[in-house]
């Protein structure tokens, strides 16, 4: 664990209320705006409905009657996600969550940085540092991600070049950084490197060309790999790894 003082050299205060709620791990900034407008948040025991008012470190902010805080002790965890686990903190269908695998989640309000769908395996970060999570999730930071993909059929002649050139999806044109076969022994198995954080982008991309992704595994995320991390296991990031992630986009 690394202290707030070590990682956040500049003062965060005063801070907009919606940002404070997000940094405290309650929800995203957009959803925080909705909570405030609905009157679900109090500041110093008074209901506020303006999400952009500024709060100080000494103010008492409550949600559903409980005091919320930005944690003084931050956790930065890297999990090798197994299949059939969702990457959200709660689920109305009571499906298994990646947080069930994290011992620290029993005492800390932890949440994933981004998401992997239920059937996708591989690297995902988990933290209680909202500032860190918001930073990594922001598109401007161009986080590099590499996935290992197994398709439902052999790649037809000429289609690898099509994969490399990009395609027009429902939500816009998408072009991966790199697409290549993992090795010469299989034309169903590829590596794809991307920066996009759009929902299900890898699966949708191959579907665009008439292929179904059978297996999808994220092997690389922002300089982090699965080395020494078996499926279903997690570890704390080193101080150096955290600092490198904090400096992305600078």
| Active site residue ranges | 117
Strands 66-67 and 61-63: antiparallel
Which 3-state string (H, E, C) describes 145-158?
EEEEEEECCCCCCC
222 contacts 136 by C-beta, under 8 angstroms = yes
Q: Which of 9, 222, 10 is nearest to 133 (CA)?
A: 222
CA distances from 182 to 79, 146, 151, 187 (A): 23, 12, 12, 8
d(CA 26, CA 130): 9
Distance CA 203, CA 152 (A): 12
Distance of CA 64 to the CA centre of its chain: 26
Q: How far apart are CA 236 and CA 221, in angstroms?
A: 15
């Amino acid at each position: 664990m690394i202290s707030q003082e070590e990682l956040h050299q500049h003062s965060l205060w005063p801070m907009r209320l919606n940002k404070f709620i997000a940094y405290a791990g309650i929800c995203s900034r957009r959803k925080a705006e909705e909570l405030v407008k609905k009157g679900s948040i109090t500041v110093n025991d008074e209901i506020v409905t303006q999400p952009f008012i500024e709060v100080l470190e000494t103010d008492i902010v409550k949600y559903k009657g409980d005091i919320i805080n930005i944690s003084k002790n931050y956790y930065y965890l890297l999990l090798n996600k197994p299949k059939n686990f969702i990457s959200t903190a709660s689920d109305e269908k009571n499906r298994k969550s990646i947080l069930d695998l994290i011992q620290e989640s029993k005492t800390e309000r932890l949440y994933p940085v981004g998401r992997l769908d239920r059937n996708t395996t591989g690297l995902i970060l988990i933290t209680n540092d909202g500032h860190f999570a918001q930073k990594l999730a922001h598109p401007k930071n161009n986080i590099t991600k590499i996935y290992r993909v197994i398709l439902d059929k052999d790649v037809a002649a000429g289609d690898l070049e099509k994969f490399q050139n990009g395609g027009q999806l429902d939500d816009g044109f998408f072009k991966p950084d790199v697409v290549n076969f993992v090795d010469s022994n299989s034309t169903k198995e590829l590596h794809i490197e991307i920066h996009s954080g759009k929902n299900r982008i890898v699966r949708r991309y191959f579907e665009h060309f008439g292929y179904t992704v059978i297996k999808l595994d994220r092997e690389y995320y922002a300089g982090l790999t699965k080395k020494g991390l078996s499926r279903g296991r997690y570890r704390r990031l080193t101080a150096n790894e955290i600092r490198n992630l904090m400096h992305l986009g600078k």
